[in-house]
Chains A and B, each alone.
Chain A
Amino acid sequence: MAHQFRLNRRDLIRAGGFLTLSFGIAGNLSHAPAAEALKLAGDLEDTPLLSAWIRIGADETVTLMIGKVELGQGAVTAVAQVCADELDIDLKRLRMISGDTALVPNEGVTAGSQSMPNCASAVQQAAAEVRHILMELAAEKLKAPIASLTVEDGTLRGEGETKITYWELVTGRELERKATGKVKPKDVADYKYIGTSVPRLDIPAIMTGQALYIQEQRPDGMVHGAVVRPPTYKAKLKKVDTSKVEKMPGVLKVVRNGSFLGIIANRQDQAYDASSALAKDAEWDVEDDLPGDEGIFDWLRSAPMRDEEIINETAGTQHAPARVLEATYERPYQMHASIGPSAAIATLADDGMLTIQTHSQSVFETAKAIARMLGLDPAKVRCQHIPGSGCYGHNLADDAAADAALLAVEMPGKPVRVQYTRPQEHKWEPYGSAMVVKTRVGVDDSGNVLTWNLELWSTPHGTRPDGEPGNLLSARYLAKPFEMPVPENGGPPNYAADRNAIALYDFPAQRVVTHFISEMPLRVSSTRSLGAYANVFAIESTMDDLAHAAGADPVEYRLRFLKDERARDVLRSAAQKFGWEQWSKAEGRGRGIGFARYKNFAAMTAVAVEIEVNRKNGRIRLIRVVAADDSGQTINPDGIANQIEGGVIQSLSWTLKEEVRFDKTGVLSEDWKSYSYPILTFEEVPPIDVVLIDRPGEPFLGTGEAAQGPTAAALGNAVFDATGVRFRRIPFTPKRILAGLKA
């Protein structure tokens, strides 16, 4: 987690309004007086060497090297747009390298909606400085003042016919200089790519079946690995008879290391067949101490916990409340549920170098954890990011990398590809934590908030590899097992369990207490928006209850306490596009709205939903959704719209349908069946309108997770509007709706 905290510090600075990019000075830097070091933009602060980011090639291309990776969120295209604009080159000249630990700056984890604020901002500043260096060099060669030069697609022109290109100017170590922070990026008006919906660079390959994903890499001599997971989390392997499986077709090796069991086979299907057979030939000691999906919320309220008051502002309290409203909200464990089971390819070369191709979000820290697990020199482990199926947080990508590595060292020289089965992906991924959130609000005679209290109970939201073998699943089952480190909660300003637990509203008094439980009945880690999903659901449902109790319109009621002008614009835009004021209620129909500013400093998003409830069968039909979003300066409008649409749909799916089933022994949800772990389908997805509010000149704000909380709340509020019954436990299954309507 240490790295995330470093990222946090910068976000705090940005949230406070100190925009580092605005300190630029014009003129010839080499004659500028020595000044104290300026704060560099985003991840440039950690890797200030310009040549670590940008290479100018003799072949008239530019190579941009970034530590953030493509997860299907369009980040690589957006960063490319920023680079091409700032360098004044055609986008076609740009080659992108991302997420190769041997080649790119260490930008930590691609997570937390931080690729735009930290990577795009760094690239913007780096490109601006590179352009400036090139202009200085050109000015010297062309014997013309910098101010007289123009640049177009890498060609600099002086007076008359004189010109010179980037590719002529850079012949050696010209870019081996540190960023100064003194060069000002372009004016907003001069952007060509930023602010336009440049098509994603990788989409044609996706649509025509070019080899793109880790699952489609087939290095020469590749063999296939599979693992046998224990029947439960803490099971210990008593004995296993490997003799039968060793004789199965195509089986090259059976690997046993403590309670870790693996297969290496010629074919993928043979590896799966052998691992199924081996699972039957293994005997385990099995525990049965889990609270189960029905018992988890009581368990959360009674487990050993650490209490922390994260805010207690009582300065505005003047009067005793006339009334107090209290409510408790419950969020079950929910899955990332990637469509493609996680995969990786590892190869141990003759020179002792272990290369792992992985769709990990954290190539650097995962490489380090794997090196330590295997007792290898970290310099001998290289991770290369290759796209996989979308992950939406920390799923099994890193574990697949570790398992491929564990098998690859058993068969030196052979690339070993591991891809999990569907049940393995469902049952062993680290889920989004179950949570309980309780609100207690004192209001005055008019129903306005006087005192706002929120308490939350949660297990961890971050168990990423972070260089620690104990965070890799299989490392815990080895003959010499690695202990899992005790996870920490995330602190301000990002927070983790308590992300968005502090309401953005301006209440006279606000107190928030986090009850952090480090014990984990089910494996958990970062899942899109972390605690913000449950916290915003609770806050925005409570606001709806308060508006109702006050006899106020839910939009108008929120605006009483929402002071930030941009936030108010977002809320009003969603309501206007939805037709909030003109809306009239039809039988069975309901509407709801929800708002949050992600992490209270990233993108601002409001979501309005219209639904219909069938009182006979308890089914909710999604009629339509409108979302409004302010992500600061827009780099790629369609990219943002795609993230908002996707976030809305995923959150509707979580909130309507999703809950990890488990009993006292282990997880029962092992596939997509309706009683197992269903997700929203094509016929259930409603039309979604997205309103984008562009803020030219403002910092880039991350969007990827912004819709999760507001959508859940809007849906709950719409169900309340339709039925008069408040549902506070997610998901809103037909069974729960029917029970609620009868109660």
Chain B
Amino acid sequence: MISFRLNGKDVSVDAPEEADLLYVLLNDLKVNGSKLGCGRAQCGSCTVLLDGEAIRSCVTPTKAAEGLEVTTLEGLTTDGRPSRLQQAFIDEQAAQCGYCTAGIIMEAHALLERNPHPTDADVRSALQGNLCRCGTHNRVVRAVLRAANEA
């Protein structure tokens, strides 16, 4: 049994210790905000926050989360309402298929926590490890800057 906090709630999960966090989140705990993209920490689709730090859940053993706080895309909402960053992504229509977007929002959230007023270049640098195939990069950068400006 592995126990941690998930999006503000205590959870215990009976999963193999060596199972990567991604699969436990996606299948055992039934959250949607972490996606399988590569399983090799190359694309960022699986990004979640572990005690506030953006990590790649596809290569993080679940036991590494023991006793810590895990936040996924769902965890940024309040009573189902989108956070300022999520709302900025909605306002900028910053997606096409949206598969990579969850990981991008988590990475951007971590950026804004450590640098509330990033430049365009700061945002691109922070998201350099997140791949998007639809080509929504510029919309994404606009959304992050909009959230920062509205803060």
Q: What is the distance, in angstroms, from B49's C-beta to the closest C-beta of chain A?
A: 13
Whether a CB of chain A sits under 8 angstroms from the CB of B12 is no
Q: Are B74 and A208 in contact (CB under 8 A)?
A: yes
Contact between A672 and B43 (Cβ–Cβ < 8 Å)?
yes
Instruction: Tell whether, in the assembled complex, residue B124 and residue A71 are in contact, meaning their CB atoms are under 8 Å apart.
Output: no
Using Cβ atoms and an 8 Å threshold, which residues of chain A touch B99?
Answer: 72, 213, 338-340, 388-390
- Report the bound CA distance from A653 to B137 in whole Å: 12
The residues of A that contact B141 with a CB separation of less than 8 Å are 682
Q: Provided the pairs A419-B36, A679-B133 are in contact, do residues A199 and B93 lie with their beta carbons within 8 angstroms?
A: yes
Q: Could you say which of A203, A211, A645, A650 contacts B138, with CB atoms under 8 Å apart?
A: A645
Chain B minimum-CB-distance residue to A338:
B133
Q: Which A residue sits closest to B105, measured CB to CB? A: A207
Residue among B15, B19, B96 with most chain A CB within 10 A: B96
CA distance A272 to B40 in the complex (A): 13
Indicate which residue in A72, A218, A268 contacts B98 across the interface (CB closer than 8 Å).
A72
Closest to A420 in B: B36
B112 within 8 A of A: no
Q: Name B26's contact: one of A210, A215, A422 (CB within 8 Å).
A: A215
Q: For B43, what are the chain A residues with a Cβ–Cβ distance below 8 Å?
A: 339, 672
Q: How far is the CB of A666 from chain B (nearest CB, A)?
A: 19
Q: How far is the CB of A395 from chain B (nearest CB, A)?
A: 11
Q: Count A/B pairs, Cβ under 8 Å.
A: 177
The CA-CA distance from A64 to B41 in the complex, in Å, is 41
**In the complex, B11 has a CB within 8 A of chain A:** no
Q: Which of B23, B100, B132 has its CB near the most chain A CB atoms (within 10 A)? A: B132
Q: A673-B42, A679-B131 are known contacts. Are A71 and B86 too (CB-CB below 8 A)?
A: no
Query: A687-710 toward B: CB 8 Å interface, digit per residue (1/0)?
Result: 110000000000000000000000
Asked if B93 contacts A642 (CB within 8 A), the reply is yes
From 635 to 650 in chain A, residues with beta carbon under 8 angstroms from any chain B beta carbon are 638, 642-643, 645-650
The answer to the question of A341 belonging to the interface, with a C-beta cut-off of 8 Å to chain B, is yes
In the complex, are the beta carbons of B42 and A645 less than 8 A apart? no
A249 adjacent to chain B (CB < 8 Å): yes
CB-contacts of A71-119 with B (<8 A): 71-74
Interface size in chain B (residues, C-beta < 8 A)? 59
Majority-rule SS of A interface residues: loop
Interface hits, A599-642 → B, CB 8 Å: 638, 642
**B151 interface contact, C-beta 8 A:** no
Within 8 A of A (CB), among B119-146: 121, 123-125, 127-128, 130-141
Flag A205-219 by CB within 8 Å of B: 1 or 0 each. Answer: 011111111011010
**Contact pattern, B 21-37, Cβ under 8 Å of A = 1, otherwise 0:** 00100110011110111
- Contact, CB under 8 Å: B136 / A209: no
Question: Chain A residues near B39 (CB, 8 Å)?
Answer: 272, 421-422
B109 to chain A minimum Cβ distance, whole angstroms, is 12
Q: How far is the CB of B85 from chain A (nearest CB, A)?
A: 9
A72 to B97, CA, bound (A): 4
Is B47 in contact with chain A by the CB < 8 A criterion?
Answer: no
* In the complex, B70 has a CB within 8 A of chain A: no
| Residues of B with C-beta under 8 A to A736 | none
User: Given contacts A645-B138, A687-B138, are A203 and B90 in contact (CB under 8 A)?
Assistant: yes
Q: Which chain A residues have a beta carbon within 8 Å of chain B's beta carbons?
A: 71-74, 197, 199-200, 202-204, 206-213, 215-216, 218, 224, 249, 267-270, 272, 337-341, 387-390, 392, 419, 421-422, 638, 642-643, 645-650, 653, 671-673, 679, 681-683, 685, 687-688
Chosen A-B contacts, 9 in total, with CB atoms closer than 8 Å, are: A72-B97, A207-B82, A207-B89, A224-B27, A339-B131, A339-B133, A642-B136, A682-B123, A685-B138
The list of the 9 closest CB pairs from A to B, nearest first, reads A72-B97, A649-B135, A646-B135, A390-B97, A206-B98, A209-B73, A389-B99, A72-B96, A209-B33
A208-B82, A209-B72 are known contacts; what are 7 more A-B pairs with Cβ within 8 Å?
A72-B98, A73-B96, A203-B89, A645-B135, A650-B134, A683-B121, A687-B138
